Structure 1
């Protein structure tokens, strides 16, 4: 876990605020006993999960693609090739949605803005820990990276599965 007490407090507020404005259908699925709190989100997401990232084309058409969703300091991060379509979309239209789904057992959905970042020392150490020092010191540190600043986050775990 790389989250500070302040990160967890911020994340809990985001989860609570997002749930408070959720529609009736979503609230009927993500019932109070299924909701994950900030500590549960951190525990479930761990360091890396496959995440489906949604971006939009210039014509407003949605595009989704799987990426490594890296959870660090309460926010999802991702990297990709410098000429990847997803980064061209993010640079032009940073509004994104992303979801980590584990069958019917787990879902974490985020809507927000992706910002391209240069990894600081803490994020570089985290990424090297996930991918290995050799990969990070090699080709990976040349990749563009982005952090999603979430405006909304809904997270649930289905205890029945």
Structure 2
């Protein structure tokens, strides 16, 4: 877990504020007993997690697609190439939503603004390390060579304004 005590506190505050603004339907599903704490969330989201990211087209249509997501320091991070459609959307319209939904037991949904960074810049160092930790054992040094040679790679951090979690009760 990379989160500092201050980041965990800020994350818990975001989770609590988001839950407080949820509508009655969502509150009926995500009851207090089914919400994850910041500590439980960061513990659960170790490593790479496939997330679905939604962006907005110029004419207002939503577009979703999968990304390798990394929950680092209390925020979702993902990366792509500079010519990717969703990166072009985020450059023009930074509103973004992302959902991690591996099955019926857990769900994490973030709504906020995308912050874009040079993948090779210092802000993306934790994500680059997380990517290496995940892919080096699977693909070997070729992955690191590919990542280091990626021209114009973009790292994206979701500055979540709302963050909802769901964890089904364990039997």
The TM-score range, normalised by the shorter chain, is over 0.9
* Aligned residue runs from structure 1 range 76-155, under 5 A: 76-118=76-118, 119-120=121-122, 121-132=125-136, 134=141, 137-141=144-148, 142=150, 143-155=153-165
Structure 2: tracts of 5 or more residues without a match: none
2:70–2:127 Cα contact (<8 Å) kept? no
| C-alpha distance in structure 2 between counterparts of 1:7 and 1:135, whole Å | 34
Q: CA deviation at 1:160?
A: 4.9
Local SS of the residue matching 2:101: strand
Q: CA deviation at 1:48?
A: 1.3
TM-score (norm 2): 0.87
Q: Which residue of 2 aligns with 1:13?
A: 13
1:128–1:135 Cα contact (<8 Å) kept? no
Structure 1: tracts of 5 or more residues without a match: none
Question: Cα RMSD (Å) of the superposition?
Answer: 1.7
| C-alpha distance in structure 1 between counterparts of 2:56 and 2:68, whole Å | 19
TM-score (norm 1): 0.92
Q: Where do 4+ consecutive residues of structure 1 move more than 6 Å?
A: none
